[in-house]
A and B are shown apart, each in its own frame.
Chain A
Amino acid sequence: MTGCGVPWISACKGNVLKFRTGDDTNQVTEVNPDLLIVEGLRKYFPVQGGILNRTIAKVQAVDDISFIVKTGEVLGIVGESGCGKSTTARLLMGLIKPDTGSVTFGGKLVDDSDASALREMRRQMQMVFQDSYSSLNPRLPIEDTIAFGPKVHGTLTSAARARVRDILAKVGLDPSQFIRRYPHELSGGQRQRVNIARALALEPRLLILDEAVSALDKSVEAQVLNLLVDLKKEFSRTYIFISHDLNVVQYISDRVLVMYLGKIVEIGSVKDVYENTLHPYTQALLSAMPSMDPDRRTESPPLPGDPPNPINPPSGCRFHTRCPYSAPICTTREPELAGGITQRHSVACHLLVPGSGHPKAPAQHVVK
């Protein structure tokens, strides 16, 4: 995997830094390491009801999350339904406006005060959705669908057509056979390839894949994952890969971000999160995976109950209602992501913070 050896460097927002790429090379490259910086992002959706249709509650979809995506890496986002994965993706794209917080992309703050800057930002950040059918216009042949974006952004029709042929070949669809077809004439895997081609046609720097392989059959999922890995090698793009499937995230990501009810509970390299798992929720998620070994079946469920409703999330640590290590402190005080966003591996849990008030918290500092 490319990029897995990118060393973490301390956060220097938007600054051009010298840093080393790769595990064993001493090559020094000059790049902007932080492609995307997310700070304090929050989005509550109002719930209307009652006879006056007033706001009676708020869904706390994303609550104060911060993270960094470095150029050339794949950041995986995992979590159960309703944890805010997709809302995060939509906030990054500027498809919905955050209540508070900021997104800095390529050193520039993303906001809607400068329309042309927002337009350019949208070109550089593209998204692939889960439902391959509803994200394509059923009345356009796929050539027109893929050429649409480049044309809007000022590419001449003939050049856009040439790019369509080029990009279709790259995603493994024979242009001569496919350009005049409509979405309903394609299989699910082919449609998802078209969606990837559509996103890549604008040559984005960041590709956000929101459950992009979840609706595909396993045999086709493997084809599309291989394609994503190949395209990444070829174009060295940055991906944010959102999925509920821990195996797929482990396969494709360099770093992983685990969310629970709108909060980041753990973030770190794939190796750290999967092999040196710190947060009780991440541990439960990993042990809830089917074993794939008939001799070693799962014997007891790692967690009781369902995830709580994000309309009224539990106080303190949102996981305390299902956590096997819950202590009184967890019900009252919200744990912070230890060390903030610059740590290699950080986790939001009182259990791991010395002096947090959790009876089982260590006396000495253990979180790196």
Chain B
Amino acid sequence: MNARILRWIVGVALAGAVGVGIFYLGMPSLLEWQSKFLARAFWWLLFCAALALFRVLKGPTAADRAVAVDMLGILIIGLCAVLSLATGRDWYIDIAIAWALQSFIGILALAKYLEGKDFDE
């Protein structure tokens, strides 16, 4: 019971530290940012992708890792949309469309592999 309370405290402190850090973090200087809010949205989505990567690292079975990789792909589509609005470069949304197509095909092939069948069934 005590270990559970300690884990809750550590998790809430970590999330709060990341939130405060994102709120005070400046814009990264390698792109021309349109507004401060969109830079914060960029860092926020990177934090969500780090959570999904934590599940990829820790997942007990291969199915957990496949689920986390699927969610990471969908998150990156949103990240490309935010980048397209934040930097004013319109070709990021082309990357998002290509990523959606490729991630769908890849996850279907991964599901076939997990099921233990060949690819031509």
A and B associate: no
Residues of chain B having any CB pair with chain A under 8 Å: none
